[in-house]
Chains A and B, each alone.
Chain A
């Protein structure tokens, strides 16, 4: 690490007082990558992401085009058959992933940002503030998240931002809990006290002393929440509160075509497999990350 002190020193001095470091993430990621489950998960996830992003450009038809009779069996013209209106299933599968990804990731990001902020504040402030935040979140936790989302969607209508927000809010209590637990542990350590002793503002203590030290559990939590987001958004689409026809969306496709599950299974199976593969891959990655974290803990204990 003792490389070119001059260049490195000026570099470092600019970012004094510590921009959050990526080092621990890199280490966790590298360790996670060494596990087979992470590799499988990542490759699957990347493949699905590619389909969602670029699949539309190789799709043989447009998603709303009627190409044949409804519920046609797969043939050379339409590889996965047609749906209940006679649209090409392959085309709709290739188009229908983007919404799942975009909504799932943004909902997870929203839930993480709010959950982490609340958890950090609760874990650092303790006492009244802690109790206040955590008990309110317990109330949120007590509502079944799908029912809560349905309630708001039925009042305000099926708006995309609302769905994203509701899914995000449903993640908030759990993420806040994980964050709070990790924060309490870090706050008890002397370097937080040392920062307070020289008068570092609380906000900077949370962002630069505490947050970088809890990034690993949060990374794992993010992966896990992403899985739930995808499932929930697909579920909301299925019951008609998510994406609205004629949009191509995996969740919606399952709902629209479920009557044909016996006669033309591919029209339902294709989106089901995609969602299944997506959640499994996200889960494998999250699992690999958490295992890597435990591995890191073991190393430091032995050193």
Chain B
């Protein structure tokens, strides 16, 4: 790549976006360019300001935010100075946007053909109806969807999630924009569908020369898609450069740690999380915002924001120690992680079985969602239950926990005794022994209770402890999940997502369970926080010997946490075995497909 390329499509200069009355900065001095036919990945964790920056390219700010400075130039048009009327022409014409959730962005009352036609008419595409009709057919081809009349007459709800997202992309492509902004278009999708959508984007940019800004929180997703990557942290770009340079020779500690936090199917070590959490707007420090979480910080970091420099004009980084980091300064200081114990054989002896699920059939309302499922969970082991959404994995986990609300046949045994279907039918000892951690820590903690009240509830119910004993146990468990006991007086809303999930884990642990059911416990968390939670669970399991059922849709997490894995598809377990055997030599076709579609940072992307 040359230093000064003439084919620049988009220039963003020193973009600053603030919250309106308070003036709190969301984006602070973001600058980048995008060349023709290039895909730039804008990567950052939640609250890093990436979506705000992306929508600013269309001169759109969500309510309460406004642009305080900077310039966005698309092919000579200064977007931020345009009038409303002019913007209508630019949006969808020169630059277009693909939102995160296509199911929410398509009009449910209009047939997709009509919705797509509307865009063409609005921008007066072509001169005749026939010309627009031809373009409509062409668009469907471009996004690899069927173009027959029957398909175009469908309503959005008659399409799958992946098809909806591709319709949204087709809509964005309708008027052949110069640049297309994709805002986490695959986050709400399954891995298989995600792979299809990524394929579509790749096809569009390479075949039609459209540039793209791909906003995402997941580096692995964009690994094979983008040409360059910009890493955002706390409203600023910390590093921007060609993909290969970032994956193999990142110069910012945050980039390096982010890479280390990504779970990988092939890695045997658990991903390494970044301690703490990203600061929200308004809580950012004067210097480099990553300072408190950085293992190679120096005094200067906290007070002065480093300038943009870098090894190459095309690879910019803002860190005082970028040269040292680039030469291999260790960015993670601290003890080596305990790796999950590997096992060779699935345990099949009756006395080591803790939970035995036998021929369970379960319904959701009247629909059968689990078909004759059998599985066993062994003592001191972690069984990963993997499947896409709708595969019945959460239903199975809830059946074991006694939280399934609809009809269920079959038997679930715990230490040889059959469990009642609902928790109210179970003994107190059984309820105590099986603890469930929910997917979303935003929904599983009562917002009106302090952490103390949340944690003391199971203790009060299961144990006869006095006040000091309760307090002592709560403090001990909080320390176990790496939370400060001073948090006891706080409310969940005062904690970050990762901290909340730790509280939820602590609430399960105070009951001293022998079985821990983790239902997608990391899916709501940022990559760096997810890795830290996985670290914690691995650590807990090896220390306490609790048996664990780890439900996840992310196959990449499995090797770092589980000894055994069961793969679910459409309410059935299609493969069950020890982790290494299943991942290295999958027997079921479906497992192979999942493995193939799980995003990873493959060797060929590292160039």
Contacts and interface: CB of A to CB of B under 8 A. Distances in A.
Interface of A: 1-3, 5, 8-10, 12-18, 20-21, 23-24, 189-191, 193-200, 209, 212-213, 300, 302-303
From A8, A20, A23, A191, name the one whose CB has the most chain B CB atoms within 10 angstroms.
Answer: A191
B402 A197 contact: yes
Interchain residue pairs A-B with the least CB separation, the first 5: A212-B448, A190-B444, A190-B438, A2-B486, A16-B456
Nearest to A189: B443
A302 B65 CA distance: 10
A18 B449 contact: yes
A21 to B, nearest CB: 5
Contacts of B511: 198
Contacts of A189: 443-444
Contacts of B187: none
Contact of B403 (A8, A15, A197, A303): A197
B206 interface: no
B467 interface: yes
Contact of B424 (A10, A199, A213): A199
Given A8-B489, A196-B424, A197-B403, A13 B452 contact: yes
A17 B448 CA distance: 12
Interface in B473-499: 485-491, 493-494
A99 to B, nearest CB: 37
Contacts, number: 110
B443 A200 contact: no
Given A194-B507, A303-B280, A12 B453 contact: yes
Given A16-B470, A197-B401, A199-B424, A9 B456 contact: no
Contacts of B493: 300
A21 B402 CA distance: 29
Given A18-B453, A302-B64, A198 B470 contact: no
A198 B462 contact: yes
Contacts of B488: 5, 9, 12
Interface SS of chain B: helix, strand, loop or mixed? helix
A227 B447 CA distance: 31
Given A2-B486, A18-B453, A198-B457, A191 B445 contact: yes
Interface of B: 62-64, 280, 401-403, 423-424, 426, 428, 431-432, 435-436, 438-440, 443-450, 452-453, 456-458, 460-462, 467, 470-471, 485-491, 493-494, 507, 511
B367 to A, nearest CB: 18
Given A5-B486, A195-B457, A13 B470 contact: yes
Contacts of A213: 446-448
B456 A13 contact: yes
A169 B462 CA distance: 41
A2 B470 CA distance: 19
Contact of A191 (B431, B446, B470, B487): B446
Contact of A3 (B403, B445, B489): B489
Contacts of B453: 12, 15-18
Nearest to A24: B448
Contacts of B452: 9, 12-13, 16
A197 B423 CA distance: 6
B489 A12 contact: yes
A21 B449 CA distance: 7
Contact of A16 (B401, B402, B457): B457
25 contacts: A1-B494, A5-B485, A5-B489, A8-B489, A9-B471, A9-B489, A12-B450, A13-B471, A15-B453, A17-B460, A20-B448, A21-B448, A23-B491, A189-B444, A190-B444, A191-B443, A196-B403, A197-B402, A197-B435, A198-B458, A198-B461, A199-B461, A212-B446, A213-B446, A302-B62
From B439, B440, B448, B511, name the one whose CB has the most chain A CB atoms within 10 angstroms.
Answer: B448
A212 B492 CA distance: 14
Nearest to A213: B448
A191 B444 contact: yes
A66 to B, nearest CB: 57
Nearest to B458: A198
A10 B280 CA distance: 32
B497 to A, nearest CB: 11
Contacts of B467: 10, 13-14
From B446, B460, B489, B507, name the one whose CB has the most chain A CB atoms within 10 angstroms.
Answer: B446
B78 to A, nearest CB: 28
Contacts of B446: 18, 191, 195, 209, 212-213
A199 B511 CA distance: 12
A117 to B, nearest CB: 19
Contacts of B460: 16-17
A285 to B, nearest CB: 23
A196 B423 contact: yes
A192 to B, nearest CB: 8
